[in-house]
Structure 1
Amino acid sequence: MTPITDISTRLSRRFVRWGALPLIALLAGPAQAATLDGSQLSVLWAVPFVGILLSIAIWPLAGPNFWHHHFGKIAAAWALAFLLPFALMFGPGTAWAGLVHALLAEYLPFIVLLTALFTVSGGIYIRGNLRGTPLLNTAILLVGGVLASFMGTTGASMLLIRPLIRANDNRRHNAHVVIFFIFVVSNIGGSLTPLGDPPLFLGFLKGVSFFWTVSHIFPDTLFLVVTLLVMFFLLDSWLYKREGVQRHDPTPDDERFGFDGAANFLLLGCVVALVLMSGIWKPGVVFNVFGTEVGLPGLVRDIGMVAVTLVSLAITPKAVHASNQFGWGPMQEVAKLFAGIFLTIIPVIAMLQAGVNGPFGAVVRAVTHADGTPNPAMYFWATGMLSAFLDNAPTYLVFFNTAGGDAAQLMGPLATTLAAVSAGSVFMGALTYIGNAPNLMVKAIAEDRGVKMPSFFGYMAWSFGILVPLFVIVTLLFFR
């Protein structure tokens, strides 16, 4: 049995245990979706969405062992807390249509892309023992920041964090290296394409063109990355000189630099080509599935991603996966949690789309000028701060829809607003360990390799002290 099949089997069994099949039987009513008027909804419909996000933020800190064993059940409970009452109140047809739309139009394309990037990057191992000089460390951060927009922040982080730690494993001061790695590679570097970070891919699925982001927030990204690299080089050089004679290097010198599993670079190119194809190819073939339109390009893209994942698993030597400590745990967690998020966000999006007449009228007014036009600076900070403490993918969706949810309008007259939402959701994910999935993964790997990483609030002292002043400058330069 392949790992993918094994995961699917286990998830299906748990799905049945959680009572989801009876729910689907309840919801499998009329295929035609009834229009959901967000202005008629109570703000209480947002409770499951807020609940799952707070669970993600609090449980890993308050009860890590409980969370590790039960996060899937917690996500399922919040999803059912929304779906069951929703089906009873608005009818099986509306609930079923919403479920199918969330699954086919957003969740599956999202999770299939992440799985492909995670698998392909996990099949590449960088050999060799580099020396962690300030120049080399800065170069690795730069390369990682560039790669993040093409193989995802998760892929670039998993590819480079281990060789970076090995390069610095004989230094007394190395926590700052990992902290700046999280800033540049795990977050800000992934801001230029839909491949880079989950929020941007969701925007791509909503109709934002592939190259729109790089053409509109490249100056913002360049300013932050260059500034952070200069700051890092100066700090690392100072600490490097203070250390004087380096400690004994525990990594052997007899391993030559190189790549194992290099064929996965070709598969990475296939992932990029598939995403580009789905945005460029317009055959006009659309399938209607219970009221949700599924275009042929998106279908081909997703099937291609699954094929890339399976090919990577087939051709990657087991020794490479072992060297990378490759496992399915992170992807299982992401798959289960985001299934709950994409379901519970349905009424939230409807309420935001109702604008000032909806239950979230106060939120809309807070990010809107007196004349009714969006305030890009407020969108940047509102999206960013929520991304830092909740999760940047659903936060992007929330404010994308708050700004109207029309991709054509957002890419045109409201381009600065869309740039603010995009930049805020990606950049400010670096402010906390829970702002973006790779942050915690990098922290866990670093601590496992002996790096004394700061606590949750200790990391925030670093991130707020360094990043917030830079974000203020970004606001003044680009979002006034």
Structure 2
Amino acid sequence: MKLSIWQRRCLALCVAGLPFMAHAGELNGAELAVWWGIPFAGMLLSIALMPLLAPIFWHHHYGKVTAAWALAFLVPFAAVFGVGAAGAGVAHALVAEYIPFVILLTALFTVAGGIFVQGNLHGSPGTNTAILALGAVLASFMGTTGASMLLIRPLIRANDNRKHVAHVVVFFIFIVSNVGGSLTPLGDPPLFLGFLKGVEFFWTVRHIFPETLFMLGSLLAIFYALDSWYWRKREELLPRDPTPDTRGIRLQGQVNLLLLAVVVGFVLLSGIWKSSVVFDVAGTPVALPSLVRDIGLIAVTLVSLAVTPRAVHEANQFGWGPMQEVAKLFAGIFLTIIPVIAMLKAGVDGPFSAVVRAVTRPDGTPDPAMYFWATGALSSFLDNAPTYLVFFNTAGGDPAVLMTTLAPTLAAVSAGAVFMGANTYIGNAPNLMVKAIAEDRGVKMPSFFGYMAWSGCVLIPLFIVMTFIWFR
């Protein structure tokens, strides 16, 4: 095969840079200028604003926008620090974080899409509250996306004979699409990123279980009271239920429940199994347990696709569009965040010293309350997964220290990222997916700011109470 002159030059540059790839991990954030964070900021702002300001353009070209921001970082970075450093940085971001992250999300998305809840419930306050509570439990084991996709359609069918349904979907987003996923790394992407960074699998459930119980208990109680008020109104029920009754509730694609247990098993195995076998992939160490986990999750995904009946996928309206969007967007996020993490790790000596000081007490120790609100504020309008990474590294980025000496700080970051992702439609990926499904089924959902009015009235007071109880 004959190479063009430009292909030969690019190949020569890559080969010349290979000897330096091992040094990419030594990037000193104190030596970087703050403008290196512009591509990361542009990436997140694009995700937050373009679906609102230019929805048609974004829908067709979000992949190109993502690639443009990634190149806006990589090209100058390679020019300044060398092709080898850029290549090693990309390799580390892909191998250590991005690929495992996408593999897990794909497995959970596929398994959840292979389970269909057949039947018609009647959406009384008790039934609706029970569905929300079930979703909260499932979210920590099959992910907020998986639990949301599994239960939102049955919940809408159960309430399709009622006039007021929007509040049911809003609380579903609060509880199932966000707060419910706070107990394990399987639940929400931020926690899985923490797991990849070295946080123990059961650390979160041990350290923010009381906060989660408070949030879920409060939200379920508020929802039951509000739904009961609507239910008691005479004009609440429509003359006819659009969905015919069936004999009980049945699950189709039950084999995926077993596959879900296998997913949990592989993730647990990678956290418990310690092995001295480590593979070097482009300068990034990959432990044998992590490799086994990822291969196992890929196998589970393929098995689920093979054994799930086509009728189940059709009933769930299963498609790869949402997963493709997540994969493309996070590729840009994981690349552009490389210099941001390095600058945050530099602490008060780096260009983000003002951020570090804002969440630090006068004696130099982290302030959990400030970490909770800072993480939560950004998670409300930007994606909560990269926000978690930002403040994880702001607090030092050492999982051994964060799990012990700085446990209150890590708990605050975890709670802020997961809980406050519910504050807006764009705080967490399932939020927009649930809204889109509800509107497609005829539910008149609140506008962007209308939804924020709901979260401001319901969630913010609960977060204030949490701060005074747990994060002082």
| TM bin (shorter chain) | over 0.9
CA distance, structure 2, for counterparts of residue 79 and residue 243 of structure 1: 56
> Would you say 1:259 and 2:251 are equivalent positions?
yes
Q: 1:170 to 1:201 in 2, by over 3 A?
A: same
Task: Tell me which amino acid in the other structure corresponds to 2:436.
Answer: A
Shift of 1:284: 1.2
Matching of residues 307-326 of structure 1 within 5 Å: 307-326=299-318
Q: 1:22 to 1:186 in 2, by over 3 A?
A: farther
Task: Tell me which amino acid in the other structure corresponds to 2:163.
Answer: R
Residue 33 of structure 1 corresponds to which residue in structure 2?
A: 23
Task: Tell me which amino acid in the other structure corresponds to 1:343.
Answer: L
Residue 206 of structure 2 corresponds to which residue in structure 1?
A: 215
Matching of residues 7-406 of structure 1 within 5 Å: 26-27=13-14, 29-30=17-18, 31-34=21-24, 35-244=26-235, 246-247=237-238, 248-254=240-246, 256-406=248-398
**Do the aligned partners of 2:113 and 2:313 also contact (CA within 8 Å) in 1?**
yes
Task: Tell me which amino acid in the other structure corresponds to 2:215.
Answer: L
**Do the aligned partners of 1:138 and 1:232 also contact (CA within 8 Å) in 2?**
yes
Shift of 1:317: 0.5
CA distance, structure 1, for counterparts of residue 124 and residue 464 of structure 2: 31
Residue 453 of structure 2 corresponds to which residue in structure 1?
A: 461
Runs in 1 of length 4+ with deviation above 6 angstroms? 19-25
Task: Tell me which amino acid in the other structure corresponds to 2:237.
Answer: Q
Three-state SS of the structure 2 residue aligned to 1:159 is helix
Shift of 1:23: 7.4
The two structures have a TM-score, normalised by structure 2, of 0.96
1:365-421: per-residue Cα shift (whole Å, max 9, x none)? 000001110000000000001001001000000000000000000000000000000
Shift of 1:254: 3.5
Q: 1:239 to 1:296 in 2, by over 3 A?
A: same
Shift of 1:26: 4.8
CA distance, structure 2, for counterparts of residue 179 and residue 418 of structure 1: 28
**Do the aligned partners of 1:27 and 1:87 also contact (CA within 8 Å) in 2?**
no
CA distance, structure 1, for counterparts of residue 261 and residue 191 of structure 2: 19
CA distance, structure 2, for counterparts of residue 206 and residue 291 of structure 1: 17
Unaligned runs of 5+ in 2: 1-5
1:300-342: per-residue Cα shift (whole Å, max 9, x none)? 0001111000000000011000100000000000000000000
CA distance, structure 2, for counterparts of residue 418 and residue 78 of structure 1: 30
Task: Tell me which amino acid in the other structure corresponds to 1:220.
Answer: E
Residue 15 of structure 1 corresponds to which residue in structure 2?
A: none
Task: Tell me which amino acid in the other structure corresponds to 2:93.
Answer: A
Task: Tell me which amino acid in the other structure corresponds to 2:170.
Answer: I
Shift of 1:222: 0.1
CA distance, structure 2, for counterparts of residue 20 and residue 80 of structure 1: 18
Between the aligned residues of both structures, percent identity stands at 71
Q: 1:227 to 1:92 in 2, by over 3 A?
A: same
CA distance, structure 2, for counterparts of residue 381 and residue 415 of structure 1: 16
CA distance, structure 1, for counterparts of residue 296 and residue 138 of structure 2: 21
Identify the match of residue 437 of structure 1 among 429, 432, 438.
429
Q: 1:325 to 1:21 in 2, by over 3 A?
A: farther
Shift of 1:472: 0.3
CA distance, structure 2, for counterparts of residue 38 and residue 364 of structure 1: 13
Shift of 1:290: 2.0
**Do the aligned partners of 2:37 and 2:339 also contact (CA within 8 Å) in 1?**
yes
CA distance, structure 2, for counterparts of residue 64 and residue 197 of structure 1: 26
1:167-186: per-residue Cα shift (whole Å, max 9, x none)? 00010001000000000000
Residue 426 of structure 1 corresponds to which residue in structure 2?
A: 418
Shift of 1:245: 6.3
CA distance, structure 1, for counterparts of residue 46 and residue 148 of structure 2: 25
**Do the aligned partners of 2:162 and 2:236 also contact (CA within 8 Å) in 1?**
no
Three-state SS of the structure 1 residue aligned to 2:279 is strand
Task: Tell me which amino acid in the other structure corresponds to 1:50.
Answer: A
Task: Tell me which amino acid in the other structure corresponds to 1:32.
Answer: A
CA distance, structure 2, for counterparts of residue 125 and residue 266 of structure 1: 14
CA distance, structure 2, for counterparts of residue 226 and residue 22 of structure 1: 62
**Do the aligned partners of 1:392 and 1:429 also contact (CA within 8 Å) in 2?**
yes
Q: 1:92 to 1:262 in 2, by over 3 A?
A: same
Three-state SS of the structure 1 residue aligned to 2:337 is helix
CA distance, structure 2, for counterparts of residue 63 and residue 324 of structure 1: 29
CA distance, structure 2, for counterparts of residue 54 and residue 418 of structure 1: 25
Residue 3 of structure 2 corresponds to which residue in structure 1?
A: none
1:88-143: per-residue Cα shift (whole Å, max 9, x none)? 10011211110000000000000000000000000000000000000000000000
CA distance, structure 1, for counterparts of residue 11 and residue 345 of structure 2: 27
Say which is worse superposed, 246-255 or 232-241, in terms of deviation: 246-255
Task: Tell me which amino acid in the other structure corresponds to 2:333.
Answer: I
Shift of 1:243: 3.8
The two structures have a TM-score, normalised by structure 1, of 0.94
Shift of 1:283: 1.5
1:186-241: per-residue Cα shift (whole Å, max 9, x none)? 00000000000000000000000000000000000000000000000000000011
Shift of 1:60: 0.3
CA distance, structure 1, for counterparts of residue 100 and residue 247 of structure 2: 39
CA distance, structure 2, for counterparts of residue 348 and residue 205 of structure 1: 18
CA distance, structure 1, for counterparts of residue 102 and residue 190 of structure 2: 12
Three-state SS of the structure 2 residue aligned to 1:126 is strand
Root-mean-square deviation (CA, aligned residues, Å) is 1.5
